[in-house]
Structure 1
C-alpha cells in the first residue's frame, strides 16, 4: 500500500492529454522531456522506477552521454512544478510526491489522484456487481469508468517506444471494458439503441470481431434479421480484404445461429453476453435473490442475450416473432 500522500490538492490525468492540477489550477510541465518523465513515473505510480529504465524510456535506448545528469535536472524541474513552495532537498527532506529511491525514483499518488486508478477501480467494482448478479448496477459502473477517459491515452506526449506500449495497453483495457458494457446493455434489452454505436465501432475497429458479433446480435434482437446477416457478410469482406483471413469461430457460429435458430455456442459467443448471464449454465432457470426475487439481466428483460431461446432453440419455443414483439414493447 502507498504511504499517505500529504498533498491532496494534486490531481493527475493520463487517459487523454497529460493533465496535472494543483488546487484546481492546471500546472502540467510544458518541456517535452519533462512531460515524458512525469508520464513514465505516473505509468508506474507508487512503484520505484530504476534510473536505467527511465533513461531508456526517455531516449528510446539511445541515451546521450549526459543522460543521467539531464535526468536529475528534469526531476528537479518537475518537483518545482508540482510543489513550487518546496524548500529543496537536504538531510531527511524527501520531496513529498516525487521521491528519490535507491537506484531510481517513485511518484507517490493516492487512488483518487490519478485517473487510471479511478478507471480501474470502477471497472473492478462493476465486475464484482456483475458476479453477484446485479447487472444494471455493474453496467452503470462501467459507464462511469469509461467516462473517466478524455481521449486517446497520452496523445499529446512525445511517443517513445515505452510510452507507446503503455498507451496501447491502456487502449486495450478501455476497449475490453467497452465490450463488457455493451454486453450488459444487450442483456438488459437495449439492442435497438446500440445499433448505431456498434456500427461506428465496427468502422473504427474493423478487425475486432467481438464488435461485429455484438452488432449482429443487436440487429437481430431489434427485429432486423436480414441486416444482421448482412452485417456478417460485411465483416467477412473487411477481414478478407484487409487481413486475408476468414471470420473466426465466434462470428461463424453466430451467423449459423441466426440462420438456423439454433442455440449460439457460449464458448465462441462469450463476447456478446455479460459475465453474469454467460456464467449461468441453466439457461431456463431464473437466478433468485435471498428473498426469492429474480436478479440479474433476466429479472426484467427475459434474458434476451440467450440466443438459443430467442431463436426458438431448445427450451420454451420462443421464436423471433415473439422476441421482436417484446423489443417493440420495450421501445
Structure 2
C-alpha cells in the first residue's frame, strides 16, 4: 500500500485509489502517517482533531475515529491492522508500505550529494523525480493542529530547497535560457525567496538580457523593503554590482548557491 501526502491525502492499493471522506478520520490518518512507526499520544491526537477546546467526550470520540480508520485501512488478506494501540496512544506501522514524502526526501538527499560531487546531470534527474511527486500543497487542506502544521511547514521548506538545487544544477549544465520562465514562476510563488531572484538574474545575464537582470534586482529590492523593511542580502547585492560592471565572471563562474 502507498500513502500520498504531497497534495491531498490518498491511499493507493494496487490500481485502486482511496480517499478518506470523513474530515476527522482523514486528520487522524494524516497525523499518524506523519509520525509513522512512532507512538502519537491520545492527547496529541485530540489536539489535532479539536484544538485546545476539546469536547466533553473527546476520548470516546477519538476511539470511534480510530475504529473507523481501522475499517478504512483493512484489506483482504491483511490479518492485522496497521494501527496499533499503545498504553499512551496509537502508532501506525508502515512495514512494507510506502509514503511519498519519504521517497521525496531520499531523492532530494541523493540529488544534493550528486551536486556536491559535481555530477549535475544526475542531480537534475533526482530533483525532477522528487519534485514530480508533488500534486499540490503538502497535506492539501487537512487540519491545522501542531503536528500537521509543523510538518507541512517543514516539508514545504525542503521542497523549496530542492527547487533551488534543481536550478543550481541546471545552471551548471548551461540551461540558463530554459530556466527564465520557470524562475519567474518560482518567484511568483515565493516572492521573499532571495535565491530565486539571484538565480533569475544569473540566467538572464547569461542569456544576454542584462537590462532585465537589473530590473529583477530592483523588483526584489522593492518587494523586500515593502514586505520586510530589509535590503537584499549581501549575495544579491554583490551580484547586482557584478552585472552593473558587466563582470564576465557572472557568465563563467558565478554560482547560484
**What is the TM-score with the length of structure 1 in the denominator?**
0.72
Query: Is there any run of 5+ residues in structure 2 with no aligned partner, and where?
Result: none
For 1:12, what is the secondary structure of its paired residue? strand
Task: Please tell me whether the aligned partners of residues 27 and 82 of structure 1 are also in contact (alpha carbons under 8 angstroms).
Answer: no
The match for 1:222 among 181, 191, 207 is 207
The match for 2:173 among 188, 210, 235 is 188
Is 1:255 the counterpart of 2:240 in the alignment?
A: yes
Q: Which deviations, in whole Å up to 9, do the C-alpha atoms of 1:41-70 show, x marking residues without a partner?
A: 111111111112111222122222311111
Task: Please tell me whether the aligned partners of residues 42 and 88 of structure 2 are also in contact (alpha carbons under 8 angstroms).
Answer: yes
**Could you say which residue in structure 2 is the equivalent of 1:47?**
38
**Number of equivalent positions:** 254
The CA distance in 2 between the partners of 1:159 and 1:77, in whole Å, is 21
Greater Rg over alpha carbons, structure:
1
Q: Structure 1 residues 111, 80: CA separation in 2 closer, same or farther (over 3 Å shift)?
A: closer
The CA distance in 1 between the partners of 2:68 and 2:77, in whole Å, is 12
Q: Which deviations, in whole Å up to 9, do the C-alpha atoms of 1:76-131 show, x marking residues without a partner?
A: 111111115589xxxxx8x3411112311111225761101111111122222223
The CA distance in 2 between the partners of 1:262 and 1:191, in whole Å, is 15
For 2:98, what is the secondary structure of its paired residue? coil
**Could you say which residue in structure 2 is the equivalent of 1:61?**
52
The CA distance in 2 between the partners of 1:127 and 1:145, in whole Å, is 12
Task: Please tell me whether the aligned partners of residues 104 and 133 of structure 2 are also in contact (alpha carbons under 8 angstroms).
Answer: yes
Q: Which deviations, in whole Å up to 9, do the C-alpha atoms of 1:110-158 show, x marking residues without a partner?
A: 5761101111111122222223332210111010000011111112323
**Could you say which residue in structure 2 is the equivalent of 1:5?**
none
Q: Structure 1 residues 226, 201: CA separation in 2 closer, same or farther (over 3 Å shift)?
A: same
Structure whose residues are more often helix by fraction: 2
Aligned CA-pair RMSD: 2.1
Cα displacement (A) at 1:244: 2.2
* Residue correspondence of structure 1 range 41-190 to structure 2 within 5 A: 41-85=32-76, 95-110=80-95, 113-190=98-175
Cα displacement (A) at 1:259: 1.9
The match for 2:230 among 245, 254, 276 is 245
Q: Which deviations, in whole Å up to 9, do the C-alpha atoms of 1:156-177 show, x marking residues without a partner?
A: 3233343222212111111110
For 1:233, what is the secondary structure of its paired residue? helix
**What is the TM-score with the length of structure 2 in the denominator?**
0.91
For 1:105, what is the secondary structure of its paired residue? strand
Q: Structure 1 residues 111, 167: CA separation in 2 closer, same or farther (over 3 Å shift)?
A: farther
The CA distance in 1 between the partners of 2:234 and 2:22, in whole Å, is 49
Task: Please tell me whether the aligned partners of residues 99 and 107 of structure 1 are also in contact (alpha carbons under 8 angstroms).
Answer: yes
Task: Please tell me whether the aligned partners of residues 4 and 101 of structure 2 are also in contact (alpha carbons under 8 angstroms).
Answer: yes
The CA distance in 2 between the partners of 1:34 and 1:47, in whole Å, is 18
For 2:36, what is the secondary structure of its paired residue? coil
The CA distance in 2 between the partners of 1:149 and 1:176, in whole Å, is 14
Q: Structure 1 residues 76, 86: CA separation in 2 closer, same or farther (over 3 Å shift)?
A: farther
Query: Is there any run of 5+ residues in structure 1 with no aligned partner, and where?
Result: 1-9, 88-92, 265-303, 309-331
**Could you say which residue in structure 1 is the equivalent of 2:21?**
30
The CA distance in 2 between the partners of 1:210 and 1:68, in whole Å, is 47
For 2:85, what is the secondary structure of its paired residue? strand
